[in-house]
Structure 1
Amino acid sequence: MRLTSAAGVATFAAALLLYPLFQGGAWFWTSLGAVLAVMAAGLLSSRLSLPAWAAPPVALVATWIYLTVVFAAGKAWVLVIPTKASVMELGRLLGVGWTDIQRFAAPVPQTDGITLLTAAGVALIAIAVDLLAARLRKAALAGLPLLALATVPATILPDPISWPAFILAALGFVSLLIADGRERVGHWGKAVLVRRTRAATSQPASRNGADTSGLRLSGKRIGFAAIALAVGVPALLPAMEPVSFFTFGVGGTGLGKGNSISIPNPVAFLKGQLDLPERRVVLTYTNNDDKPRYLRIYALDTFDGQQFGMTDPTGLAQNTTDNGPLPAPPGLGPQPKIGNVVTKIQISDEIRKLQFLPLPYPPREVQADGDWRADVDTLMVFSTRDEAAGLDYQVATSEPLPTPELLESLGGTRPTTDPRYLKLPDNLPPEIGKLASDLTADAKTDYDAAVKLQQFFTKDGGFTYNLRTQGQSNSALRDFLLRDRVGYCEQFAASMAVLARLVGIPSRVAIGYTGGTKVGDRWQVGTNDSHSWPELYFEGVGWLPFEPTPAGSLGQGSARVPEYTQPRPRSAGEAATPTPGATSSSADEPVAPQTRRNPRELDREGVVATGGLPPDDSMPLIAKIGIGAGALLLLLLIPAGLRVLTRNRRVRNLGWKVSAPADELTSAMVSDASRRHPSVAPSVAAAWAELDDVLYDYGMARQTSETPRALARRLAQQYEFDAESAAAVAAIASAVERVLFARDPGEIGPMRKDLRKVRQALAATVSRGRRVRAVLLPPSTLRRLRAVGERLLDGFDLLENIRLRRTAAQKGS
């Protein structure tokens, strides 16, 4: 029964790690009830002595009844007994819950479907833990299902697991291991539980059983020490990111890739924004041509058959935004005309955990406070330490203005971009490849093929925009393209990117915002403007956005189809019209290729508003290591500091009272002699306690049976004290005996000089290493710290003793 209860406690303690995933507390109480139902079923199985294989079915039935009562009582018989209608209701809620967790980003809202799914999952973990720990007696293996609970928030959330929640989960698992150990020891006889006092530990073991306190003490020490190290060590060490050999952290200037950043799931970010119940303003912006622009945050470049993902961006110190122009856009040649635009963006203060800047593409130069860096391959601008919330920044873009004729003329140029932009999984359904071939059979160039693919989604394919759909997978992708043809922007963008790769066009998926709506003199972008679109690569122009998502009232309201994807006759003198992703300034007219300067050579003063940016405040790795080493040194010096404080309290003043007696003699001196001789006892007790600590620090601890006079005589003879040192230790011993045993101790002079003389004499008899250890890691202080830990562990034993005494009393009654 103890193991069943410990398994339930461990499961619920681990389930506390899930709290950042949810809004509200419904999941907490419902999951607690599910764990209690599993515990009740386990206790019943133990009471009936059922075989190990029968316990899980009993727990499943108990969980089924519990979930029926909570979520489908109205359709159950007498509110408890499951019926066909209640089973159908639970199945419906499970389906709704699964759909909801696909739609919402963490923290998810408090819905019946999500709560049911969570409680059922926690119950299954509880059943697995009970089976392994209480039935199969494999308590250590029970940590695997508990670990599954920890991996859920660890893989979904960008932030690390909260250390208080981790401590509770770890304590739950340690308590399960301790309960299992007690059960095993109990099979060998009656366990004698004693408190670890000096009197108890000095007594022999009881005849009725073995004293297992030492075993329990070791186990608890190991468990608590492991938890303390797991929480404390990462907090003390400097924050270091994986870097290449010749690159030194965020501030490095080496030859490597630079430091990398862990990012949230961009697709989950998009879903969470689109599914918010009400529109919230994300950012506002103005630009010098007053035209809307797509603002890209993420560029997803890998496709695993399930969905598009993002390679972690890297940035060197020379690519920080305050070091001048960003790297040149990949693939941009001299052919297209360029429009130079300056955009000023203000992020809302309500945005949280966003470490990528929404930017029009391609950014040429960015002015932003903080350590922001550009990824060379994608020109995403990110930070490893700053967030975008409340940030005002300015971005200058040099946007290519291609015409259909120019893109047609590039048809014979093979792309030189990274092969990962063409990579597809081997298990992609062949029907999708055939669809791509059929749609582009008449295309003469890559541009022509790209336009046909876009028109398939926006005009010819009969697609419908709807947020209530599932994400990408092989089967979902096939159903979306060939059967259902209902989805939202992420599916349209991913599907077009896959089809483009199938016909040899490098592609990736961008996630960010559309241009928003005009409010007053600013463009306003809300959560409903969150969007995903494909970017296709054309050698000589670079990456260009396409728009397969239906726009207008039947789709993404602020989506715009780029004008270069709509071939039309142009007069000889007609200039290309800018697109939402690449528009020219009315003040900065398109520049002819032969007169255009390299974007990286443009002057800051001519494009971006003047005003210096703060210098690079990146902290070098050597400084981080120094801070970490300093913190570790301060931690190691805590015992030395405590020893100095204790010695100063005792020696510098003669009126101290001993707060932590070193042994029974000092304790008796304070309790008894202070009552009889209140004027002199505290000072003598302080001197004796200090002498006792000095002896312990130097490895000369006093024997328990030694009187003060015998100790003084032994020290003077054994270590060959000189006359002054022998007289000093004899004076201290005499004062102690007079305070302890004399009716009138008489006058006791100052002992500060005597104590100093004895300490110097003792120090001269030991090695230098022993003296250094006595200063830096004094054993007397470590003894007191260890005693504090043992007292804490004694509290657990006291609780165990109380429980066992009650059990015995109940049996006797």
Structure 2
Amino acid sequence: MRLTIASGAAAFTAAFLLSPLFQGGSWFWTSLGAVLAVVAAGLLSNRLALPGWATPLVGLAATWLYLTLSFSSDKAWALLVPTKESVVELARLLGVGWEDIQRFAAPVPDTEGITLLTAGGVALIAIAVDLLAVRMRRAALAGLPLLALAMVPATILTDPISWPAFILAALGFIGLLVADGHERVGRWGRAVLVRRTRVAPGQPVAPRPGTGTADTNGLRLSGKRIGFAAIALAVLVPALLPAMEPVSFFTFGVGGSGSGRGNSISIPNPIANLKGQLELPEPREVLNYANNDDTPRYLRIYALDTFDGQQFGMTEPKGAPQNRTDNGPLPAPAGLSLETATKDVVTDIRISDQIERLSFLPLPYPAREIQVDGDWRADVDTLMVFSTREEAAGLEYEVQTSEPDVNPDLLDSLNGRQPTTDPRYLRLPPNLPPDIRALAVEVTSEARTDYEAAVMLQQFFTTDGGFTYNLRTQGHSNSALRDFLLRDRAGYCEQFAASMAVLARVVGIPSRVAIGYTGGVKIGDRWSVGTNDSHSWPELYFEGVGWLPFEPTPSGAAGQGSARVPAYSEPRPEATEEETSTPTPGATSSSSDEPSEQQARQNERQLDREAQSAPGAVPVDESMPLIGQIGIGAGVLLLVLLIPAGMRLVTRSRRVRTLGWKVSEPADDLTAAMMSSPSGRHPSVAAAWAELDDVLYDYGMARVPSETPRALARRLAEQYGFDADATAAITAIASAVERVLFARDPGVIAPMRKDLRTVRQALAATVSRGRRVRALLLPPSTLRRLRGAGERLLDGFDLLETIRLRRTAAQKGS
């Protein structure tokens, strides 16, 4: 019975790890009911002595009845017994729940379907734990299904698992192991609880009557001590170690020092967040902005540059100290020639304070200079701006951009220039389906230039290809890409952007996928951007102008409402003969001194891109040398090690303040006189005696429990050769203690601060310097108290083991 209940408790405490995945709490109570149903089924199986293989079937039946009662009782017989209608309803809710999980990004709303899926999953884990721990007697293996619950948030969320939830789950598993050990030992006879007796060092332990002489404390408590120590180490050690590079697809390490979150950043999966925001029931404002030309602009957050055949990912951004936003202009945008005309725009952006876990700034591209508070840095290749220490929530910042002033004629004239961008922007997986490559060639077959090919690809998605906008589509794989392009042709912005970027790479145009927000809608004198404006679009590279956004997603009522096709990417009307005979080269509208300024900025701030983009390159932490990091780590470790010394200092200071009190009134509490240390109405005497006891223990001179205060004083004076002052001081302390303990009227007791200081100095002079240093830095008296607190905590768990759920036959007869 105990093991069955412990297995259910272990499954439910492990379910606490799922908390960050949900917005509400209905999943919690529903999952609790499902676990209780499984526990009830296990207890019933024990009562009926069913074979081990039958118990999981009983658990599944109990779970089915419980879920029927909770979710389809109106279609069941007597609210509980399943019927055909109730089964159909549960199946429908399961399908809805699965769709909701695919639609929303964590934390998801606890809809009825999601709650059903969660409760059913937790119940299955509880059944598996009961099977392994109770039926098969393999409690250690029961940790595997519990680990499966921990893997769900670990693989979905980038934030670390909450340490309170981890401790609770670990305690549940340890409770399961303790219950299993108790059951195994119980088969050999009745377990006898042997309680510890508090004795002073050196005093023998007298056996309690009726318990025998064997002391099984070590055997009985070793498992608990190991378990609690393992939990403590698992929580404390990672906090003390320096930050390591986490292995996660959307987790990146960056150069530079940082505090708070260290030198690594974690961001949510951009694609999952994109769709989750698009499908929120009620759009919420993310930011608002205003600019000097009052024109809406896309605000990019992430630039995804790698394609693995399933979806686009992001190379880790690198933010060196010289690329901090408060150091002046950002690195020059890739591919933008000094001869290309630019348009300067100033944008003021205000981020909502409701945004969570956003370490990248939404920016128009390409940003030239940013005025923002905090440690924000720009990635050289993509100009993404991010921080390892700050979050964007509530920020207001100003962005200056220099947009290339392009037109179709200029873009056509750039054809034939060899791109100098990184080869990864053209890289495709070798298993890309051949019919996708054939489709790209077919769509762009009439293009004379790369620019015309890009426009034809965009027109293929928006007009010619028969594509429709639909948030319900799913999938990230070669087959999903193939289905989208060749069969279904229905999807949302992420699939349109990724597909166009892939086709552009097929025909030799470097491409990447941007994720951020569209320009939003005009409200008053500012543009408002909401969660429904979350968007993804491709950026294509043309040598001379750099990266340009394109818009393949259908806009208007049938698509992304706030999406806008750039003017330069719209198909040109049929040109006249005079127009075609006069090509328009790129002109420069910038001031005469601007090229030299840009050239100086490029020479001053441009980093070695080849070195940074080399495969396997590790970002270098340039803000703080390694010796500085080691020093900080050593300092933190030293502070932790000095905790016992700090506790000892606080205790000594409190006692020393008490020693200045003068005691003259009689002790009318006779009970206090029987205690081993003075207390009650004589706090100064109690403080002096307690401090003397700690000093003796710290110096390895612990008193013998059978010694009276007078005998202790005489032994110390003779053994360590005290001088007259020290002998008089310790005699005075011993006399005061005995008078408080045994005299009806102790009389006047003078302050003992000076006497105690004299005795402490005399004791210190008799021990080695190493012993004095240890007594100062790692006082054994404080460690003894900490150890005692741990033992008392274990005693509390021991008392829980003595609780009996039912009386024995002997108890019933008494």
Shared fold per TM-score greater than 0.5? yes
Task: Map 1:734-773 onto structure 2 (within 5 A).
Answer: 734-737=735-738, 739-741=740-742, 751-773=752-774
Match of 1:295 among 281, 289, 299: 299
Task: Map 1:551-566 onto structure 2 (within 5 A).
Answer: 551-565=555-569, 566=571
1:637 is aligned to 642
| CA-to-aligned-CA distance 1:482-525 (integer Å, 9 cap, x gap) | 22111111111111122222333322111111122233332222
**Matched-pair contact (CA < 8 Å) for 1:337–1:590:** yes
**Residues 1:130 and 1:161: Cα distance change in structure 2 (over 3 Å):** same
1:21 is aligned to 21
**Residues 1:211 and 1:77: Cα distance change in structure 2 (over 3 Å):** farther
Deviation at 1:28, TM superposition (A): 0.9
Q: Distance in 2 between matches of 1:670 and 1:444?
A: 105
Deviation at 1:527, TM superposition (A): 2.0
| CA-to-aligned-CA distance 1:738-770 (integer Å, 9 cap, x gap) | 554566667766654443333233222211111
1:131 is aligned to 131
**Worse-superposed segment, 541-550 or 333-342:** 333-342
In structure 2, give the amino acid aligned to 1:172. G
Deviation at 1:115, TM superposition (A): 0.9
Match of 1:370 among 371, 374, 398: 374
1:776 is aligned to 777
Deviation at 1:462, TM superposition (A): 0.8
**Residues 1:669 and 1:310: Cα distance change in structure 2 (over 3 Å):** farther
1:672 is aligned to 673
**Matched-pair contact (CA < 8 Å) for 1:401–1:576:** no
In structure 2, give the amino acid aligned to 1:555. G
In structure 2, give the amino acid aligned to 1:303. F
**Matched-pair contact (CA < 8 Å) for 1:284–1:525:** yes
| CA-to-aligned-CA distance 1:786-812 (integer Å, 9 cap, x gap) | 222222222222222233785677776
In structure 2, give the amino acid aligned to 1:87. V
Q: Distance in 2 between matches of 1:212 and 1:17?
A: 36
**Worse-superposed segment, 85-94 or 592-601:** 592-601
Deviation at 1:473, TM superposition (A): 2.6
3-state DSSP of counterpart to 2:488: coil
2:505 is aligned to 501
**Matched-pair contact (CA < 8 Å) for 1:337–1:591:** yes
| CA-to-aligned-CA distance 1:134-157 (integer Å, 9 cap, x gap) | 233332332232233223223333
1:465 is aligned to 469
**Residues 1:653 and 1:530: Cα distance change in structure 2 (over 3 Å):** closer
Q: Distance in 2 between matches of 1:599 and 1:259?
A: 32
Task: Map 1:309-348 onto structure 2 (within 5 A).
Answer: 309-334=313-338, 336-348=340-352
**Worse-superposed segment, 163-172 or 530-539:** 163-172
**Residues 1:674 and 1:155: Cα distance change in structure 2 (over 3 Å):** closer
**Residues 1:574 and 1:348: Cα distance change in structure 2 (over 3 Å):** farther
Match of 1:519 among 502, 523, 546: 523
**Residues 1:399 and 1:647: Cα distance change in structure 2 (over 3 Å):** closer
Does 2:787 correspond to 1:786? yes
| CA-to-aligned-CA distance 1:433-472 (integer Å, 9 cap, x gap) | 3333333344444333322222221112111112222243
2:614 is aligned to none
In structure 2, give the amino acid aligned to 1:348. S
Task: Map 1:707-726 onto structure 2 (within 5 A).
Answer: 707-726=708-727
Match of 2:441 among 431, 437, 441: 437
Deviation at 1:343, TM superposition (A): 1.9
Deviation at 1:244, TM superposition (A): 13
**Residues 1:809 and 1:209: Cα distance change in structure 2 (over 3 Å):** farther
1:78 is aligned to 78
Q: Distance in 1 between matches of 2:86 and 2:167?
A: 39
**Residues 1:423 and 1:123: Cα distance change in structure 2 (over 3 Å):** farther
Q: Distance in 2 between matches of 1:110 and 1:246?
A: 36
1:161 is aligned to 161
In structure 2, give the amino acid aligned to 1:481. L
**Matched-pair contact (CA < 8 Å) for 2:23–2:109:** yes
1:796 is aligned to 797
Does 2:257 correspond to 1:249? yes
Task: Map 1:389-400 onto structure 2 (within 5 A).
Answer: 389-400=393-404
| CA-to-aligned-CA distance 1:249-293 (integer Å, 9 cap, x gap) | 249xxxxxx954221111122112211222322222222222221
**Residues 1:353 and 1:654: Cα distance change in structure 2 (over 3 Å):** closer
Does 2:223 correspond to 1:219? yes
Instruction: Using the aligned pairs only, state the percent identity.
Output: 74
Deviation at 1:316, TM superposition (A): 0.8
Give the TM-score taking structure 1 as reference length.
0.86
Q: Distance in 2 between matches of 1:732 and 1:593?
A: 91
**Residues 1:234 and 1:784: Cα distance change in structure 2 (over 3 Å):** same
**Matched-pair contact (CA < 8 Å) for 1:105–1:272:** yes
Q: Distance in 1 between matches of 2:416 and 2:676?
A: 104
Deviation at 1:530, TM superposition (A): 1.4
**Residues 1:628 and 1:812: Cα distance change in structure 2 (over 3 Å):** farther
**Residues 1:138 and 1:306: Cα distance change in structure 2 (over 3 Å):** farther
In structure 2, give the amino acid aligned to 1:46. N
Flag structure 2 segments of 5+ consecutive residues without an equivalent. 603-622, 664-668
Deviation at 1:561, TM superposition (A): 2.0
3-state DSSP of counterpart to 2:266: coil
3-state DSSP of counterpart to 1:524: strand
Q: Distance in 2 between matches of 1:216 and 1:796?
A: 12
Q: Distance in 2 between matches of 1:192 and 1:675?
A: 30
| CA-to-aligned-CA distance 1:47-99 (integer Å, 9 cap, x gap) | 33344433333322222222222222233333323334333322222221111
Deviation at 1:352, TM superposition (A): 2.7
**Residues 1:460 and 1:212: Cα distance change in structure 2 (over 3 Å):** farther
Flag structure 1 segments of 5+ consecutive residues without an equivalent. 252-257, 578-583, 605-617, 659-667
In structure 1, give the amino acid aligned to 2:406. P
Does 2:53 correspond to 1:48? no
Q: Distance in 2 between matches of 1:678 and 1:266?
A: 65
Task: Map 1:378-777 onto structure 2 (within 5 A).
Answer: 378-565=382-569, 566-568=571-573, 569=575, 591=589, 597=595, 600=598, 630=635, 632-654=637-659, 671-672=672-673, 683-737=684-738, 739-741=740-742, 751-777=752-778
3-state DSSP of counterpart to 1:177: helix
Deviation at 1:388, TM superposition (A): 1.9
In structure 2, give the amino acid aligned to 1:687. A
Deviation at 1:204, TM superposition (A): 6.4
| CA-to-aligned-CA distance 1:592-650 (integer Å, 9 cap, x gap) | 7998616735899xxxxxxxxxxxxx898877766665554444333333333433444
**Residues 1:573 and 1:400: Cα distance change in structure 2 (over 3 Å):** farther
Q: Distance in 1 between matches of 2:774 and 2:230?
A: 25
**Residues 1:682 and 1:67: Cα distance change in structure 2 (over 3 Å):** closer
Q: Distance in 2 between matches of 1:590 and 1:172?
A: 70
Q: Distance in 1 between matches of 2:696 and 2:288?
A: 72
Deviation at 1:318, TM superposition (A): 0.7
Q: Distance in 2 between matches of 1:405 and 1:249?
A: 46
Does 2:193 correspond to 1:188? no
**Residues 1:247 and 1:404: Cα distance change in structure 2 (over 3 Å):** closer
**Matched-pair contact (CA < 8 Å) for 1:650–1:656:** no
3-state DSSP of counterpart to 2:190: coil
1:112 is aligned to 112
3-state DSSP of counterpart to 2:154: helix
Q: Distance in 2 between matches of 1:14 and 1:599?
A: 60
Does 2:282 correspond to 1:278? yes
**Matched-pair contact (CA < 8 Å) for 2:253–2:265:** no
**Matched-pair contact (CA < 8 Å) for 1:260–1:314:** no
**Residues 1:707 and 1:674: Cα distance change in structure 2 (over 3 Å):** closer
Q: Distance in 2 between matches of 1:509 and 1:646?
A: 62
**Residues 1:770 and 1:248: Cα distance change in structure 2 (over 3 Å):** farther
